Structure 1
């Protein structure tokens, strides 16, 4: 949902545009990766962004979640000198790898790794946005709801004055029937709604940017 596929803008691009407009100067996204996922090869080998001028650095992966990113985040924060992390993870964890409690443990490991690299790191986290599987799998739907409850509690427990953790309210009108192209991955309207959710949380929580406008 964050890495995006060949030919897409991605919500990262939408948020980058917003911040550039809000501040009237370029904003920098950082990370050790640049590629999009190529659905024809099922690998992160495409650089065909809808806007080729987009600064494409990120740390996203198709099929990667909290458990995959927790071991990587410390080195990434250190090498890329990140000071704010925008995190949208969890759907793939709950779908294939870990239950809600185990996923929450990986959230703690992720935050610890980021803070070890930068004790003043700030982290904005979007809860899991349900996908089409919740309609056919009630136990999965319960895990999504349970994890989002645990996520909110975990961020509250780990929040520190010098290293703020921000829970991003999910976009209220987000609907996987209309805001995704396959029941999971955001289309253009989904990209804008996810970007707007982050933008509003950054504005209200940390006074970064301004009101989101498409």
Structure 2
């Protein structure tokens, strides 16, 4: 199985992070099944450079081949739509694990426009690899939603619209799955700044993807949380 992680700052991580990608890699290794992580990038976000060029993962033993991804600080569905077709054609993933949307609503597009980009993303990925599977994580509102009711409403609306996109576009030939919000996820406990996951949050995010794949497709196994 070939996995591609797609996401924004919550997925790419910053210098010094483990990332939920690392937690998922550990989980996949523990299954004893053959898998590969694919993608055009490997770095963490470096604030000084304002680019994902850091190799300073919290675990230096995280192997280079497992660090691959398509994630970027400040990048959302809007940015990934033009890229995903070429990346899928080149790297041939079997499963896309996608966490996007918060940055779109925060800076670029409203819920309706963002949901339209979700549908375009799915179409581009399928055009490049017709049998590809995709797991989408709902938007997890950050601290801005606590202070801005309009933003909170947009987050809720996007999740509703994304669920409709998934229901309409799901296909036996190219399964599309909306994961559940990570069980018990609390931005006060599971992030370091109200948005980005801390180590406990990383495990929660990885578990959401792993559990969704196991429950819906019988791929892998449930994620073991302490």
Smaller-chain TM-score bracket: over 0.9
CA shift, 1:177, in A, is 1.0
Which of 151, 155, 167 is residue 162 of structure 2 equivalent to? Answer: 151
Which of 101, 124, 131 is residue 135 of structure 2 equivalent to? Answer: 124
* CA deviation map 1:18-68 (0-9, x unaligned): 11102x145311100111001233221201112233211000000000010
- Cα distance in 1 for partners of 2:15, 2:122 equals 30
Number of residue pairs aligned between Structure 1 and Structure 2: 213
Which of 7, 16, 19 is residue 28 of structure 2 equivalent to? Answer: 19
Instruction: Confirm whether residue 186 of structure 1 aligns to residue 194 of structure 2.
Output: no
Please report the RMSD computed on the Cα atoms of aligned residues, expressed in angstroms.
1.0
- Cα distance in 1 for partners of 2:35, 2:59 equals 16
CA shift, 1:9, in A, is 0.9
* Corresponding residue number in structure 2 for 1:45: 53
- Cα distance in 1 for partners of 2:132, 2:220 equals 18
SS at match of 1:2: helix
* Corresponding residue number in structure 1 for 2:188: 177
SS at match of 1:177: helix
Mapping of residues 14-163 of structure 1, within 5 Å = 14-22=23-31, 24-25=32-33, 27-54=35-62, 55-163=66-174
CA shift, 1:206, in A, is 1.1
What's the TM-score, normalizing by structure 2?
0.92
Instruction: Confirm whether residue 2 of structure 1 aligns to residue 11 of structure 2.
Output: yes
CA shift, 1:71, in A, is 0.7
Runs (4+) of structure 1 exceeding 3 A deviation are none
* Corresponding residue number in structure 1 for 2:7: none
